[in-house]
Amino acid sequence: NNNGHVGLINLPSARFYSEGSYGFTIYRGNPDRKVTLTLMPYSWLEGSVFYTSITGKSYSVFKQNYKDKGMNVKFRIKEEGDYPALAIGLNDIGGTGIYSSEYIVSSYGVGSIDFTIGIGWGSYASDDYHLDNPLRHISSSFLNRNDLQNNGGELSIDDFFSGPGASLFGGISYAYNNEFLIKAEYDKSEYSFDKGFSKP
């Protein structure tokens, strides 16, 4: 997808390519433009690194757009069988936190249609999130998420799956034939571009 995941348009799915696959994605949006290299070293693991340029904010002392980089990872929890496939993922690990998010996602195919539904934290959960964070029942520490962006290179493990709320997302992919897919999704993502960036 636009973010280098096997998935829908902007959102991930619980699908994986076969072991040894790789992909290169070029995305041009507003305000961000991104290149992503995605690798599938195992059939249950998808990893990607990205480099992005975001318009509307200068980068350091140079007269160019703001730059950011980070890593994403997705793990297969369960393959599809009688029940849907299940995966868990983390986005923008060690980055500045603009795209920082975590998710649990499920996919199930019926004929030529593939259904995906998931729950997301971080940038997947906008300010008008759907649910109070369900992990608050495990520990109240899951209610606190550091909203501040950092300079990158920091692994904020304490923020994983945290925040006051979480949002549902989902979509469908229809294989019209072997060369043509039609996709639709419901995306609650809200990236923190407004913190010094132009509004998307």
- Tens of pLDDT, residue by residue over 97-135, are 788 889 999 999 999 999 999 999 988 886 677 788 888
Please report the pLDDT score of residue 138 as a whole number. Answer: 87
Q: Is 102 helix (H, G, I), strand (E, B) or coil?
A: strand
- Tens of pLDDT, residue by residue over 141-177, are 777 887 655 555 566 677 788 888 899 999 999 999 9
Distance CA 58, CA 142 (A): 34
Question: Cis bond leading into 31, ω under 30°?
Answer: yes
Residue 189 pLDDT class (50, 70, 90 cuts): confident
pTM of the model: 0.87
